[in-house]
Structures are given as structure tokens and as C-alpha cells.
Amino acid sequence: MSSVPGADKKILAGVLGIVLSCFGGVHRFVLGDVVGGLIRLVLVLACGIGSLISLVEGIIYLTKSDEDFVKEYVEGRKAWF
């Protein structure tokens, strides 16, 4: 387990982004980004592109180091990719 606070969300958010990409944005709720999750859900319902975004984001999360993930997505609240 990582000693970086917030890194515990990386695996869950990454796996949800990949496995549940058809629901778009579920992974963003794990990160506390309700607006981002809802936007991706609307994109899935409107045109399906939210699924692709969620899949790509899930892969990005899992390939980042714990420190980079926390810095960008937990502390920095990076909204897209």
C-alpha cells in the first residue's frame, strides 16, 4: 500500500474508469468530482463519447505513479485526462 495520502483512490478510479466506461464518469465520483461525473454521463447518453473518455482516463490513472496521480487528480482536481 502506498504511503502517499490519496493514492488509495487510484486503483479504484482506474478500474472503474475501464470496467464501467459504458456508464461514463463513475470513476470521477470516486475522486469527488460530481460535476465531471455528470458531464461524462451526459456525454454517454448523448453520443457515446463519454465511454471512450472514461476508458482512456482509467488507463491514464493506472499508468501514473502514486505521487503524480495524487498531485494531478486528487490535489490538483484535474478535470480532463
> Residue 41 half-sphere exposure, CB side, CA atoms within 13 Å?
12
- Determine what percent of the chain is predicted with pLDDT higher than 90: 33
Q: Does the reported pTM lie above 0.85?
A: no
Q: Compute the distance between CA of residue 14 and CA of residue 46 in angstroms, rounded to an integer.
A: 23
**Per-residue model confidence as pLDDT tens digits over 34-51:** 998 898 888 888 887 778
